[in-house]
Amino acid sequence: MNVTITVNGEKTSHEVEDRTLLVHHLRDAVGLTATNIGCDTSTCGSCTVLLNGESVKSCTVLAAQVDGDEIQTLEGLTGEDGEMDAVQNAFQQKHALQCGFCTPGMVMAATSLLRENPDPTEDEIRMALKGNLCRCTGYHNIVQAILTAAEDAR
């Protein structure tokens, strides 16, 4: 079937197999590879993107399901000249990434959290990240980065 999705503000249109997962569609057809696949069971959150502004795990959404919708990925947070937004910047400043594999999903989850709750406590951040796994950082600096991004926005 034909699927039209607005990805990071740009309209895309592709013929897809019915069973195509959104994450594969974004990576292979749209050509945006920041979004990663880590688990296949909707557990790890590496594939987190924003669907009409809400965070979803794109490994458990079919491309066909989001026909006509808006998707934002990590690439969509980045400015024209490669400039980082507040969350991306805080992740660098606080060393909230090591291998970087969970990072795109983690940044999108953090972005979603801060839109819903601009002033989260540490506990609220930790609960909000329960669906995003990181093996490298022990989450310490990720929590610090999100606190910092929230503070910077105030």
Residues that bind other proteins (CB under 8 A): 17, 19-20, 24, 27, 33-41, 43-44, 46, 74-75, 77-78, 82, 84, 88, 91-93, 95, 97-104, 107, 122, 125-127, 129-144
- In the complex, minimum distance from the CB of residue 81 to other proteins, in angstroms, rounded to a whole number: 10
Q: Which is nearer to other proteins, 10 or 68 (by Cβ)?
A: 10
The whole-angstrom separation of Cα 17 and Cα 67 is 13
- In the complex, minimum distance from the CB of residue 15 to other proteins, in angstroms, rounded to a whole number: 14
C-alpha closest to that of 33 among 103, 119, 94, 109:
103
- Calculate helix-pair angle for 86-93, 103-116, nearest 10 degrees: 120
Q: Which is nearer to other proteins, 68 or 80 (by Cβ)?
A: 80
Residue type, 60: T
- In the complex, minimum distance from the CB of residue 5 to other proteins, in angstroms, rounded to a whole number: 19
- In the complex, minimum distance from the CB of residue 42 to other proteins, in angstroms, rounded to a whole number: 8
Q: Which is nearer to other proteins, 31 or 53 (by Cβ)?
A: 31
Lookup: tokens for 58: 């794109």
- In the complex, minimum distance from the CB of residue 96 to other proteins, in angstroms, rounded to a whole number: 9
